[in-house]
């Protein structure tokens, strides 16, 4: 069935697209129903409209922030901006302008925080480490699978993680490994191995998925290899 998937979907529709006719999620492969797709698209669109309202309100709050605002208020605003930035990656369409504006506001806040820190070397180091971690985090969000996994209301449940990673692009799979600790990577490797063994016995072509499994096992220094 050819479903009307959108060109730039939100997180709910993205996950339906991953599952649609994908034997790694269900065997035999299952089609996503038009009703489920429409519901996901409507929910994604509703969330996008709420994001736009919240974004405008947040920018207005930043513009009206008094020069003598306390550190608690300033840091609270920065955290809200970071959450908005993260949320934008789960929405349909592109939000380049909003992200650029959020980055600019965060940079201005960080400049004020640095001035307040003065020449304290420890404070300066902590701020530098925070900025580096933020940039790494923001860059990982560029990968849709990572953004969907990190969303507070992720559409990807525990049982969907292995098939989602095994169906992802190589870059996405590598990015996902960046957000998992060693224990989680080991659990993912075990789930992936069992899944591919099962699908291979059912006659599913898992050659592409093997490459993703190799990335997972290499990441944890495992010498386990899938052979079928």
What are the pLDDT digits (tens) for 103-123? 999 998 888 888 887 778 898
Q: Is the peptide bond before 28 cis (omega within 30 degrees of 0)?
A: yes
Q: 225 lies in a domain?
A: no
* Residue 201 counted as domain residue: yes
H/E segment holding residue 226: none
Same domain, 204 and 123: no
Q: Are 164 and 140 in a shared domain? A: no
Looking at the domain assignment, is residue 122 inside a domain? Answer: yes
- The verdict on 141 and 54 lying in the same domain is yes
Residue 223: the pLDDT is 40
Q: Let me know whether 139 and 41 are in one domain.
A: yes
Predicted local distance difference test score (pLDDT) of residue 225 = 44
Which pLDDT value is given to residue 1? 62
Q: Are residues 41 and 111 in the same domain?
A: yes
Residues 139 and 195 reside in one and the same domain: no
Please give the residue range of the domain that contains residue 32. Answer: 17-147
In this prediction, residue 115 carries a pLDDT of: 82
- The pLDDT value recorded for residue 224 is 47
Same domain, 95 and 169: no
Does one domain contain both 63 and 86? yes
2 inside domain:
no
Same domain, 143 and 73: yes
Q: Is residue 75 a contact partner of residue 63, using CB atoms and an 8 Å limit?
A: no
Q: Specify the number of domains making up the chain.
A: 2
Interhelix angle for 182-201 vs 158-167, to 10°?
A: 70
One domain, residues 161 and 128: no
| Phi-psi category of residue 132: left, alpha or beta, with phi > 0 → left and psi -120 to 50 → alpha | alpha
* Other Cβ atoms within 10 Å of 146 Cβ, number: 21
Q: Does residue 152 lie within any of the structural domains?
A: no
**Domain check: are 30 and 123 in the same one?**
yes
Question: Quick one: 141 and 47 in the same domain?
Answer: yes
Of 126, 147, 168, which closes a domain?
147
pLDDT tens for the chain, residues 1 to 228: 678 899 999 999 999 999 999 999 999 999 999 999 999 999 999 999 999 999 999 999 988 888 777 888 888 999 999 999 999 999 999 999 999 999 999 998 888 888 887 778 898 899 999 999 999 999 999 999 999 999 999 999 999 999 999 999 999 999 999 999 999 999 999 999 999 999 999 999 999 999 999 999 998 874 444 444
102 lies in some domain: yes
């Amino acid at each position: 069935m050819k479903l009307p998937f959108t060109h730039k979907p939100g997180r709910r529709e993205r996950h339906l697209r991953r599952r649609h006719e994908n034997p790694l999620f269900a065997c035999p492969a299952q089609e996503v129903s038009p009703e489920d797709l429409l519901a996901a698209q409507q929910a994604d669109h509703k969330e996008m409209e709420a994001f736009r309202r919240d974004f405008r309100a947040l920018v207005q709050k930043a513009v009206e922030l008094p020069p003598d605002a306390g550190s608690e208020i300033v840091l609270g605003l920065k955290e809200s901006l970071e959450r908005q930035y993260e949320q934008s990656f789960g929405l349909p369409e592109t939000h380049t302008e909003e992200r650029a504006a959020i980055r600019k506001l965060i940079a201005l806040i960080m400049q004020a925080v640095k001035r307040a820190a003065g020449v304290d070397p420890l404070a300066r180091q902590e701020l530098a480490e925070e900025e580096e971690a933020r940039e790494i985090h923001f860059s990982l969000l560029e990968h849709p699978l990572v953004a969907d996994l990190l969303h507070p209301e992720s559409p990807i449940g525990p049982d969907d993680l292995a098939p989602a990673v095994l169906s992802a692009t190589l870059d996405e799979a590598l990015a996902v490994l960046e957000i998992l600790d060693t224990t989680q990577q080991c659990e993912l490797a075990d789930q992936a191995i069992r899944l591919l063994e099962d699908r291979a016995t059912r006659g599913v072509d898992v050659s592409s998925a093997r490459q993703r499994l190799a990335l997972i096992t290499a990441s944890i220094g495992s010498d386990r290899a899938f052979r079928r």
